[in-house]
């Protein structure tokens, strides 16, 4: 069964193939120079029924290689699969926006892709079926190139992975050698079509079954509010309904049941992958009071996190007791949501303080993180980005963290004024994710 390209841990065979490919590129000056500025590379392991199809093939399983976009302006590089459709930048140059749109529509009609049922459809039609317009560059990522080549040649896809090679970009979090899921904006609808008819693992992020969720723990309750610990993998509040997909559990729904049907009201958010303390209100007045405290930054929050080791290229050394501040403005990556990126020009200010609490022999570090702003994925990006700590949080699939059963990030401290009487309410929680040395 093919792993799901939107959420996966790479198979051992893909990891080994990636190491071999990196070694080959490093040892080949022309390729090293071609990809040095940074490129997403992809590998697809396929089952080949007729080994004579691929010259020199003497095994039933083979690896196909692809790169995203162009390499120094070229879509063709020896040893990598060809593009779905070859075009030149001058093919779509125009003087007016209207002409540009017309040419983009023409271009995406030329990208005809195959799916596992043997059907074919243009990228423009695939997106139009969902009421969408394909973003520029759709169809040029590594994963669709690999699947297109395999399906056109009758190869059975077995395992897939995409990883970064070369220098890290200034805005996105991309670490050399780290594997990343397929993007949602360009590849979401496209791969959704191409994978039809193939035996593909379900996306574990679309099901509670992946997480083996524990029940939340209520830490405090009165007539005005309730404080609880959210387990990793549980939504904080209900997500948007998707036709045909059962709704996922949320902490807000669980607490409403716990309160015997009294609708509790959300005052703030935690990422689904993050565990820890949250406060909900039982009245609209209490909700407004607590939300106002968050807006005025009168609420104190702290998190505990394990971050990856010092073997990451460019990562600096850390010492127990070290403190520092990270200030990197953040903005959404519109083509790959919910990922965020560093944007010095258009991003919103984001500030995080950190303290190193513990180090392990492998160089991984246990941190206390205090966010002074509440941007989406702020702590995850500030830890992972080279201009921050340069070390992703362990288990962070979006930003290149070391593999783990969960994201090693926990909301451990929450302090606010009680909306009824103004007294200070403070809650603390330990973090014991199963790693040796965790507290």
Active site residues: 271
CA distance 339 to 377: 8
Tell which residue, 98, 13, 111, 24, has the closest CA to residue 62: 13
CA atoms within 13 A on the CB side of 138: 30
CA distance 80 to 148: 13
Tell which residue, 140, 146, 190, has the closest CA to residue 17: 146
Tokens 């993998």 found at:
233
371, 301 Cβ separation under 8 angstroms: yes
Which two tokens mark 154? Answer: 């009758």
Question: Where are the strands (E) in 193-322, listed by range?
Answer: 217-221, 225-230, 265-266, 275-281, 300-307
CA distance 247 to 244: 9
Tokens 């106002």 found at:
292
**What sign has the CA pseudo-torsion 119, 123, 126, 128?**
negative
H helices of 173-246, where? 187-194
Which two tokens mark 184? Answer: 């949602």
Instruction: Tally Cβ neighbours within 10 Å of residue 420.
Output: 14
Dihedrals phi, psi of 229, to nearest 5 degrees: -100, 125
CA distance 379 to 301: 12
Which two tokens mark 316? Answer: 């600096």
CA distance 186 to 413: 38
Tokens 């040395």 found at:
437
44, 150 Cβ separation under 8 angstroms: yes
Dihedrals phi, psi of 217, to nearest 5 degrees: -120, 120
Instruction: Tally Cβ neighbours within 10 Å of residue 88.
Output: 10
CA distance 286 to 146: 53
312, 399 Cβ separation under 8 angstroms: no
Q: What is the DSSP letter of 235?
A: B
Does residue 121 sit in helix, strand or coil? strand
């Amino acid at each position: 069964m093919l792993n799901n390209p939107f959420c996966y841990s790479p198979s051992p065979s893909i990891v080994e193939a990636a190491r071999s490919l990196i070694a080959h590129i490093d040892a080949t000056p022309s390729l090293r120079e071609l990809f040095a500025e940074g490129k997403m590379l992809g590998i697809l392991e396929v089952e080949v029924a007729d080994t004579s199809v691929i010259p020199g093939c003497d095994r039933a399983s083979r690896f196909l290689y692809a790169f995203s976009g162009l390499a120094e302006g070229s879509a063709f590089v020896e040893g990598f699969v060809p593009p779905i459709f070859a075009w030149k930048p001058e093919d779509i140059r125009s003087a007016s926006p209207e002409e540009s749109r017309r040419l983009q529509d023409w271009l995406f009609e030329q990208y005809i892709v195959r799916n596992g049922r043997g059907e074919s459809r243009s990228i423009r039609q695939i997106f139009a079926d969902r009421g969408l317009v394909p973003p520029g560059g759709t169809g040029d990522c590594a994963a669709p190139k690999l699947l297109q080549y395999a399906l056109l040649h009758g190869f059975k896809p077995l395992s897939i992975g995409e990883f970064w090679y070369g220098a890290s970009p200034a805005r996105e979090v991309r670490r050399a050698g780290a594997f990343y899921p397929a993007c949602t904006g360009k590849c979401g609808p496209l791969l959704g079509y191409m994978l039809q008819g193939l035996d593909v693992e379900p996306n574990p992020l679309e099901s509670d079954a992946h997480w083996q969720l524990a029940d939340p723990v209520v830490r405090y309750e009165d007539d005005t509010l309730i404080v609880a610990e959210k387990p990793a993998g549980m939504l904080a509040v209900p997500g948007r309904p998707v036709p045909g997909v059962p709704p996922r559990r949320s902490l807000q729904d669980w607490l409403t049941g716990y309160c015997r049907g009294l609708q509790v009201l959300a005052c703030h958010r935690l990422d689904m992958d993050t565990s820890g303390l949250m406060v909900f209100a039982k009245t609209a007045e209490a909700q407004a009071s607590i939300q106002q405290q968050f807006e005025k930054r009168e609420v104190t929050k702290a998190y505990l996190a394990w971050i990856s080791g010092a073997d990451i290229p460019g990562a600096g050394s850390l010492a127990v007791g070290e403190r520092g501040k990270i200030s990197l403005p953040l903005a959404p990556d519109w083509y790959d949501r919910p990922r965020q990126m560093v944007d010095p020009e258009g991003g919103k200010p984001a500030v995080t303080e950190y303290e190193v609490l513990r180090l392990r022999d492998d160089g991984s570090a246990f941190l206390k993180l205090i966010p002074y702003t509440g941007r989406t994925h702020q702590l995850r990006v500030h830890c992972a980005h080279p201009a921050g700590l340069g070390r992703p949080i362990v288990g962070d699939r979006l930003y290149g963290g070391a593999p783990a059963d969960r994201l090693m990030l926990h909301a451990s401290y929450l302090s606010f004024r009680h909306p009824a009487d103004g007294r200070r309410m403070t809650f603390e929680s330990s973090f014991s994710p199963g790693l040796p040395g965790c507290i």
